[in-house]
Amino acid sequence: MSSTSHDFKELCFWCRLGDLENVDRLISKGVNVNSIDEFNNSPLFLASLCGHEELVKLLLQRGAVCDRDRHEGARCIYGALNDSIRNILLKYDISKAVDLKQPFASHLSSQLSDTSLKSHDIILRFANKKEIRLHRFLLATRSNYFAQQLHGPWSGYTVAEMPQDAPPVAIDIISGYVYLVPLLHNLNKQESDWLLQFCEELGFSSLADFVKRSRLLADQAQITKLMTEYQHTFTEEARGQMGALVEDIFKQRLKVKLIDEFPTSRVDIPREGSVIPDVYVLVKNSDEAKSGLLYPCHRSILARSDYFHVMFSSSFGEASSYQLTTEGVVDRTSPFPVVSFPNCEPSVAELILCYLYFDKTDVPWELAIAVLKAADSLMIDRLKTMAAVSITQSSEFLSVYSVFDILHTAWEFRLERLEHHAAKIIADQIGYYTSQPQLKEVILESCDRLQAREETDTIELVDDIRYYLMKKYNVDADDLDDLKWSENLKGGFEESEELRLYQHDYIMLDDILQELGLEA
């Protein structure tokens, strides 16, 4: 289906340029990677045609389909710029397109079977004694039926007896759908009839549509293609539902007083509310940490952060939520665990929670540096990258921060994208920046960043600035190889105006290096 949305047009633009971070950001917003533009070009076709190998891999990992038996797939393969990309596409099995999804969906899928966090808190038990361990909050979030049961008959209990006639394979499909696991099961008529009935009761209309259409197909390859089409719908439904859950989390946050950065009173398990949390996240206010906000959250989602994953899978007290009695009843006499975010404003903490719960990757430029700091502390590298993208795309950022702020941020948080962005800004306005004393300071800092500098070493910042000077004037290495420069590079150029301007800017930078006593 052709797409003319602004976000899809932007996705196609970045696919032409090969910008991984911006493509990842837009896919995370829910843009369909298998749409086509008004010229019948898919994002995968554009990336293949323009020779962006890493981007082709990313698109395939995010669900782009390359089926050589279909027109779009054949165009990608035969239109690929080089053999390397062509081989990647030829080797790619279409079934992988439903196994590698958006990062948030992939994490959600992993939580179905990941027992390291011990966060499963509801068991579905069958007549044959089979049991499936799930998360109460996720069932309630994805289905009104489960929400009513968990707040009613199943409230406070961890075991739910399933109907006697429930086929286990159908329940496996229901569980997989809730957790966004690809649904590639072969069902007999009795099993699919039961599944359709249960889908109707649970409100899973899109899953029911898939089952109805798939059982009309006999060829497994066709079923797989159908699943690929529906997986995007399933993922976007889940994102919307998780977004609504986060809104409830924000509504149910609590204001607390703190002593020594801890709540002054015991924090108990919430008895009411739609969130069904198993941990509180404490965000300290900036009033000398005398007060803070508690957000009711879920360890299985916070574990998208490597920092929290290590904490929750360890022997620390935060690794346990509430205790259960031998009868499977929640013991409400147990204290509720509380974990802390790094010191940040609530707006920053809430943006991070939006990322963890439903992969929101749009970071306002005003919050970008604060998000970088918090994401670095929480070991969320992808969110750091998204914050860096926000900085590089903002025309207003430099009205508040300097290019040297960008450079120091890049070094502090190890973000190569920001280093290159700062170097490009300096190259574009080299006349202005060579008059600024801070440029000399950052060149020396870049020099000091080398572990063991020798005379033959180069200075990374200087190399980057020189590279962007070449891009600025459309000069390439072959042009420079053909030139006969004087010893100090101040001989004249007769070849072109671009080369003359390039030499002028190059010499301004070189003069600073000589003034600093550097040969780079």
CATH class of the domain at 6-92: mainly alpha
* 68 and 90 Cβ atoms separated by less than 8 Å: yes
Mean pLDDT for each 10-residue chunk of the chain (520 residues)? 73 93 87 85 91 91 71 74 84 49 82 87 79 92 91 84 75 88 73 87 91 82 76 89 96 83 62 82 77 91 94 68 38 66 93 95 94 95 92 92 95 92 95 93 86 61 92 77 49 67 90 83
Q: Which letter does DSSP use for residue 274 in this model?
A: S
User: DSSP E strands: which ranges in 260-342?
Assistant: 262-263, 279-284, 291-297, 323-324, 330-331, 338-340
What's residue 326's pLDDT? 36
* 396 and 470 Cβ atoms separated by less than 8 Å: no
For 81, the token pair is: 């710029």
CATH class of the domain at 251-362: alpha beta
Three-class SS of residue 209?
helix
* 101 and 109 Cβ atoms separated by less than 8 Å: yes
* 200 and 207 Cβ atoms separated by less than 8 Å: no
Give 322's strand partners. none
What's residue 422's pLDDT? 95
What's residue 324's pLDDT? 34
Per domain, the residue ranges of the chain are 6-92, 106-247, 251-362, 402-515
Q: What pairing do the DSSP bridges indicate for beta strands 131-134 and 122-125?
A: antiparallel
Report how far residue 474's alpha carbon sits from residue 401's, in angstroms, rounded to the nearest whole number.
29
What's residue 331's pLDDT? 42
**Which CATH topology does 106-247 take?**
Potassium Channel Kv1.1; Chain A (3.30.710)
pTM for the model stands at 0.80
Nearest partner of 146 among 198, 191, 212, 72, judged by Cα: 198
Nearest partner of 203 among 148, 275, 280, judged by Cα: 148
For 257, the token pair is: 């007083």
Question: Is it true that 106-247 and 251-362 share their CATH fold?
Answer: yes
